[in-house]
Every structure is written in structure tokens, then in C-alpha cells.
Amino acid sequence: MIVDDLIVCRCEEVSINDIKQTVNTYKCSAREVKLRTRAGMGYCGGRTCRPAVDAILSEVTGEIPSNHIPLKVQPPVRPISMGALGGYENGK
């Protein structure tokens, strides 16, 4: 038996109960559950919890989460030189 207060996503502190409540409240897809709870979207990028989150979502929603949506890659807000990153301004 799975304990509902078990934390599945440690980065975002999402429990099984959080996922179930989100599904029951919003009647949403597996993708929307992830967006609403941030499960799998923390520091590790879901590398640690993704299989567990996907398994719970498929059990609760009946939908099999897919990976066909690519991860978003976003460039920096403004360019910065490697020297500035290293603390060297104007070659000093």
C-alpha cells in the first residue's frame, strides 16, 4: 500500500496526495498535473523522480505521460562574456 503523504518529488516537495488532489480538483491531464504541482520540474529536472511521478500519474489519471514534448531551452536574458562570469572586467 502506498502512503499518500509520501514525497515523490524531493526538489519541489510534491507528495502523492498533492498529485491526487490536483487531479480531483482540476480534472486535468498528466501534463497539466505536472505543471500545476511542479512535480519533476525541480533542480534535478525529473531525473530522480520522473519514473515514479509518471507511474503515479498513469495510475491516477489513466493517461500514460509521454516525453514527446521537448524541454524548453532558453538563452540568457542578455549576453555576458566569460571574463565577466569569471570576475574579470575589461581583461583586468
Neighbours of 37 (CB within 10 A): 22
Residue of 67 and 7 predicted with greater confidence: 7
Q: Which position has the grid cell 515523490? A: 8
Structural contact between residues 23 and 30, judged by C-beta atoms closer than 8 angstroms: no
Burial annotation 4-21 (CB, 10 A radius, 16+ → b, else e): eeeebbebbebbbebbbe
Q: Is the whole-model pTM more than 0.85? A: no
Structural contact between residues 11 and 42, judged by C-beta atoms closer than 8 angstroms: yes
Domains (range + CATH), the chain: 1-92 (1.10.10.1100)
For the stretch 13-50, pLDDT in tens is 999 999 999 999 998 888 888 899 999 888 888 888 88
Neighbours of 2 (CB within 10 A): 8
